[in-house]
Structure 1
């Protein structure tokens, strides 16, 4: 046999042996993992934060920490990581990366996905419907073909607000026209025009399109003549974005020295919430909510439009959806 032929035989044998060893090693890894001898890499932790936001989308930046409990790294390049972020079962983001190499110890995988801002109205509806509570859930999985197993990780966090509770008050407040001199034209009527002795609020039947607020107030008429509430107008803004406005036309006649409960329904237009969402994130998850009310009142043959500071509402809403501030 020639020297060249001998080398070819020997070299071919070595390559075959190496191939058998590699296949055997891979098979052994899978078997060892199945028997629990080798630990399966899993997701140890997840960190999320909001990135860039515009009128239509919101970036969610995710940092996955993958823990490999084995003394050697997995470098076959076929590990796949996948994750979802949801609030009250409304999916906000979903991402996946294939071919992830997992080294010894902890490996950080950075992912960026885009959330459609149109997910905000259905989430908001679910938040209100559940008593102003949201459960934020992050599900993350890592799958490696050699292990034939998927390791899962879940993180959940509760987000709460109390917007409607701020309307509950039993503190009497006077109501008068902006220009008190207008009352001087009426000899029978004195200032203040009337009092709001009590206010209360609760959410109505929320849908993905609208969020109704049922706001009632007890009005007391101190005048010696009847007082008629003919109209209530309102405007709701969140970070200067108008999210609701309108008027109610029901009349209420309040007898002299008597009280009457005035029932009103104000509505947030949920289609405006994706525009508000942009401002909320740009202001570091902070919103200035403002609600203003005006009443049209007839008394003594005259009609007045009066601002109702007792119903006006200002509140700062701060959220920490991913828990990064704690």
Structure 2
């Protein structure tokens, strides 16, 4: 009789385990997670992203994520902290801590690879204390950062002596190292004056959110013929030491940055050296980092 009673108890336990496993399997197979995130604390060293994962249904399991690291271009740029899934909970909350200096280093690798790289999240965790969760999610990322410079145009202005017009600045990446990022540009110039303009210098500055991030210089002198065109080659160096502050300000402004391009041409007119400031160019750069992270998690 006792053996029959024990058998019934084991049978009930087995049935409960079977039903639990069946529901867990169904829940995982039909899982439609959604990620909602909002920016938290931000400074020039770190940026926090408050993240909530909604599973769409309660999960009959207790999950603890020991590690969830974000990699960009092979460099660890962030870590998720305090992400836990309670038993029969339908959501989990955590904080993604991004490291600004590592983001700059990843940007360099991204540029070196032709502005192509991967966003990857590597996860390690446990279910009911058993370390069986291990995996990764990745998404390719492509950008065209130089388009903000290459498409630059500035109209001619002035009365007696008109400033040259800029009809484009096709650009490419140059040297990328620990000191900065080099941009090489061909400035397409048109001289509307009835006399030639020997160009012997260019002062070129780029500001982002009030920070000077780059300075450019003329590589070699060039003469812009009367009512004609010429190409001036310039070298611009991006100061990567200031970028962590620019990144923080970009996030604080709702993922928007204001770029300002200032050009001053040094030319000779009637054997006199004069400087010709061109009209300032302002552009807005917008991103959606949260959307990219959500895509990487799908």
Common fold by TM > 0.5 = yes
- Quote the Cα distance in structure 2 between the aligned partners of 1:99 and 1:289: 40
Equivalent residue runs for 1:150-229 within 5 Å: 150=133, 152=135, 154=137, 156=139, 158=141, 160-164=143-147, 166-168=149-151, 173-174=155-156, 176=158, 190-192=160-162, 195-196=164-165, 198-207=167-176, 209=178, 210-221=180-191, 225-229=195-199
Task: Structure 1: give runs of 5+ residues left out of the alignment.
Answer: 1-16, 181-189
Aligned to 2:206: 236
TM-score (norm 1): 0.69
Q: 1:305 corresponds to which residue? A: 275
Residue of 70, 92, 103 corresponding to 1:85: 70
The yes-or-no answer on 1:118 pairing with 2:101 is yes
**Aligned with 1:48 (options 24, 34, 37):** 37
**Structure-2 separation of matches of 1:233 and 1:211:** 18
Q: Quick one: which of 261, 266, 269 aligns to 1:291?
A: 261
Gaps of 5+ in 2: 1-5
Greater Rg over alpha carbons, structure: 1
Q: How many residues align?
A: 281
**Match for residue 53 of structure 2?**
64
- Output the CA distance in 1 between the equivalents of 2:57 and 2:132: 14
Q: Choose which of 259, 265, 269 in structure 1 pairs with 2:239.
A: 269
Map residues 1-12 of structure 1 onto 2, 5 A cutoff.
none
Alignment RMSD, CA only?
4.1
CA contact (8 A) 2:84 2:94 kept: no
1:269 deviates by: 1.1
CA deviation vs aligned residue, 1:121-173 (integer Å, no higher than 9, x gap): 1232244445555654445455325777437573747574554255336x783
> Following TM superposition, by how much is the alpha carbon of 1:301 offset from its aligned partner in structure 2, in angstroms?
1.4
- Cα distance change, pair 173–65 in 1 and its aligned pair in 2 (3 A): closer
Distance 2:238 2:250 in 1: 16
Deviations 1:4-56 (A, max 9, x none): xxxxxxxxxxxxx9xxx89x969x959x95xx785297583443332110122
Q: CA deviation at 1:288?
A: 0.3
User: Quick one: distance in 1 between partners of 2:268 and 2:54?
Assistant: 67
- Note the alpha carbon deviations across 1:176-226, whole angstroms, 9 max, x for none: 4xxx5xxxxxxxxx5325x33632322222525422222222334455654
Give TM-score scaled by structure 2 length.
0.74
CA distance in 2, matches of 1:47, 1:141: 21
Given that 1:289 and 1:315 are in contact with CA atoms closer than 8 Å, whether structure 2 keeps it comes out as yes
CA contact (8 A) 2:198 2:222 kept: yes
Contact 1:92 1:115 in 2 (8 A): yes
Whole-angstrom distance in 2 between the partners of 1:305 and 1:130? 38
Q: Secondary structure at the match of 2:247?
A: helix
